[in-house]
Amino acid sequence: MTLGTGRAVSMTDEEFRLIRDLICDYCGIYFTESFKFLIERRLQPRLPVFGFVGFRDYYRLIKYGRDRELEFDEIVERVTTNETYFFREAYQLNALMDEVLPLVKEGGRSGRRLRIWSAGCSTGEEPYSVAMMLEDASAARGLAFDIFGNDISRKVLRTARAGVYTQASFRATSKEMLARHFVADGRTYRLADRIRNQVSFGHLNLVDGSALALLAPVDVILCRNVMIYFDPASRQRLIETFHRKLRPGGFLLLGHAESLINESTAFELWPLKNDMVYRKPEGSAPGPTP
């Protein structure tokens, strides 16, 4: 660690482009020119940590540096919006419990554990929301679940595993759910171990094919408000990965503003009462998607 000065340094257009492209190569997240100010502002505090006076040196650090992976972790956490909260877009989670689960249950072998993957789970609110809702869902009775979340940022995963949240995470949480599943602890709320122990977390770069190869097939994928950050090529690869990882008849749930229109025809659009989700057709062969 170097203790440098904290002067504001501006980022040239060229530096922005180099850093932006490197971030995209690393994790598929793409920023247009209009994000230059945001990238500059959020990465500026990293320069004094290394004693740098300009972004070119910082670019070289993340391109060649011994600990570049660690710094990318820092970058991703800073430049992505990790904003999430419990029971976000609750209508979709309700649809998962009331309509998707019965279908998945019907199609599965008896006695098999159902697997739910929260892809890009940030600080864990989404998979924990699913775990809390499964406690009450009638369709979940008698079933065993594996719920797991992944994110590219180790920092957000630390928060997820700790299960400690501030008030900002509860803007859509009822008092009843808060009281049932959390314990107030000073300025924060601690999630009950009963729920915390139901969710596993892992570090995973969604554009890293070799890391994704380790993931076993799943029944439901939640990937909400994640693909919007990706460049078209990475988005395409990710959709293909989702297709490969879903069991036939499994479901993909995207954010309310996201769709697979012009992206893939490998999924069926599956209308629900209050939502649209995507399903991998029954009988689809595992392996590469069309």
Partner 1 sequence: MTDTVRRRPAPGAGDRRQDEIRYQTVLELSRQGADAVPQLLVALGDGSWRVRRAAATALAAQPASTSLLAALTARLAVADNPGMRSAAAEVLLGIGDVAVAALAAGLASADVDFRKVVVEVLGGIGTKAAVAALLRDIDDQDDNVRSAVVEALGRAGGGETIELLRARLRVGGVDLLQRVYLLDALGRLGARLPWAELSPWVEQAPLARALLPLLGASGDRRAAAVLIEYLERGATVSRQIAVVSFAALIDSLGAAERAAVVAEMVARPGRLPAVLKLLQSNDDKVVAAAARIAALFDDPGAAPKILEACAQGTTADAGLRAVLSLGPKVVAPLLAAIDAVDIEARVLFLEAVEILGDAGVVPTLLELAAGPETRATETAVRVVGSLGGVESIEALLGLAKSGDKEIRQAAVMALVAIGGRHLEIVAERLRRLVAGGEVLPGWITALGALGRDRDRELVIGAVHHGDPDVRQAAIEAALAYGRDFPEEILAFSLSDEQPRVRSSAARALAAFPTSSAARALFAATKDPDDFVVAEALRGLGRSSTPEAVGALREGALSSSSPIAIAAIHSLVRLNPPGLASVAARAVQHADPEVAHEAVELALRMSASEASEFLTGCLSHRFWVVRSAAAEALLTRRIRVPAARLEECLQREPEAMIRTALQRLLLVSEAGA
246 binds partner 1 (CB under 8 A): no
3 binds partner 1 (CB under 8 A): yes
* Amino acid type, 52: F
Q: Is 188 in the site for partner 1 (CB under 8 A)?
A: yes
Distances (CA, A) of 228 to 46, 106, 119, 123, 268: 26, 32, 13, 18, 20
Q: Which listed range, 95-103, 139-147, 161-169, 194-202, lies at the site for partner 1 (CB under 8 A)?
A: 161-169
3-state secondary structure of 146: strand
In the bound complex, what is the minimum distance in angstroms from residue 14's beta carbon to partner 1? Answer: 6
Q: How far apart are CA 234 and CA 224, in angstroms?
A: 16
Q: How near is the Cβ of 137 to partner 1 at its closest, in Å?
A: 23
The encoded tokens of residue 200 equal 């596993």
Q: How far is the CB of 167 from partner 1 (least distance, A)?
A: 4
Among 168, 216, 257, 285, binds partner 1 (CB under 8 A): 168
Is residue 106 at the binding interface for partner 1, with CB under 8 A as the rule?
no
Q: How many CB atoms lie within 10 A of CB 124?
A: 28
- Under rule CB under 8 A, residue 187 binds partner 1: yes
Q: Which is nearer to partner 1, 51 or 286 (CB)?
A: 51
Asked whether 275 and 91 are in contact (CB, 8 A), the reply is yes
Q: Residue 40's closest CA among 61, 65, 14? A: 14
Give the CB-side neighbour count of residue 205, counting CA atoms within 13 A. Answer: 18
In the complex, least distance from residue 197 CB atom to partner 1, rounded to whole angstroms = 18
Q: Which stretch binds partner 1 (CB under 8 A): 32-40, 126-134, 217-225, 238-246?
A: 32-40
Question: What are the angstrom distances between the C-alpha of 81 and each of 126, 170, 202, 253?
Answer: 15, 17, 19, 19
- Residue 2 found at the interface with partner 1 (CB under 8 A): yes
Q: Does 18 bind partner 1 (CB under 8 A)?
A: yes
Pairing of strands 218-223, 114-119: parallel
* Of 230, 219, 222, 217, residue with least CA distance to 253: 222
The residues binding partner 1 (CB under 8 A) are: 1-3, 13-14, 17-18, 34, 37-38, 41, 49, 59-60, 63-64, 66, 74, 77-78, 81-83, 123, 155, 158-159, 162, 164-168, 171, 186-188, 260-262, 265, 268-271, 279, 281-282, 290
